[in-house]
Structure 1
């Protein structure tokens, strides 16, 4: 884990980058200006300088973040890589908001349960690749070996076993009633989380996420923003109005004594002269 001031500056970096991208500013210029704004006593200015150089040569900075694995977490790199994938539909702006909230949470008093649930819910809600995403989560520096093993178990069993069951059997609430299980498996979730998981079995997983988010206090996961189709709808309405106006004119002409059909026809083109003429 990095010092608190690093996460504070990371949160500012992702927030400012997102705001200026929304203003249609070139990313190269944005990175240069933010590099000057970041607290110089942290390592983030050096990281931004490296991202900027890689962006100029590679056209993206996911690969640069991957090379800075001592500074950026695997999940941070995964989110940016998903956003840069031209085959996917994941928007970089949503990714930056996910990373901003993640950094703000780490700058406070994060729990391992909160870090896992926030990252996993981010993967689910945004329909990212489960295998790569949970693999990145398992490598988070905040997790010890029991946590890493359990996250990899979730990766193998997601879609086959409910998340509520996976949480419940590794909670103190379950292990308090199972001495054999308590002797072999470390409890990763507390009594409260176990009760919540038990209460949400066979239900929509989003209800489980919502209850755990309220109780554990980790950030709400940004929802994918719907595409603004207002301009397209206005164009469609304009075309419909034009068609309605045309029909109304035809009705008016018919009421005045008939429609002049001749104006809908064009005079036939004169045939080309014969070559012998």
Structure 2
């Protein structure tokens, strides 16, 4: 019996001595804190005021409560623009009528839209220079934007005498109409580029064979590689494409019409 106990003890000790020593499992290293920054850069172009010509003749003074009939059979005028013109006339105290019995006829002669030469928008220097500005200066120092020119002309005729008592014309381009720079938003953020490689390394080094090998030959977990990535610019203000500037045409005609009617001298 004593011999059997001694044999079991020796066998157990011999078995333990044959079990290879393994290094502890590797843990996934903590990730570094990543930064994210948003920059805004703007581009400006030369702007012009609306070109306005307005002439009023004194033969027939225009008085409040005079009636006006709007005629726009030579142009494609929307209901929205017509309502806008009517409101502008009413602000002068004039009465809008649709019958032939009116004191004056307001003829809308021109509602034109034409594309002019492109406008060049140049990158503005930010108050505080930064690396992103230097990069954008190299890649996109300027933008070529579509430019639409809107024109409106009209005249006011005294019906009883057929005398033209007032005529006016105005035009403006889309860049000057919106009057704001192009603004772009850039996102600069840090990203880890080798995270999958590190995870694969941890998994491979936590197998039994790898742990046995590491017991005599330690390994070092790779460091995270962090790179700065800059996203594509996102335009946040300003019309530039042909579609974008064309969308301004209705508002441009409305503004020009209101500016011209405001030139009428009503007693």
Please identify which structure carries the higher strand content.
Answer: 2
What interval of TM-score do these two structures reach, taking the shorter chain for normalisation? under 0.3
Q: Which has the larger radius of gyration?
A: 2
Choose between structure 1 and 2 for higher RCO, CA contacts under 8 A separated by at least 6 residues: 2
**Structure with greater helix percent:** 1
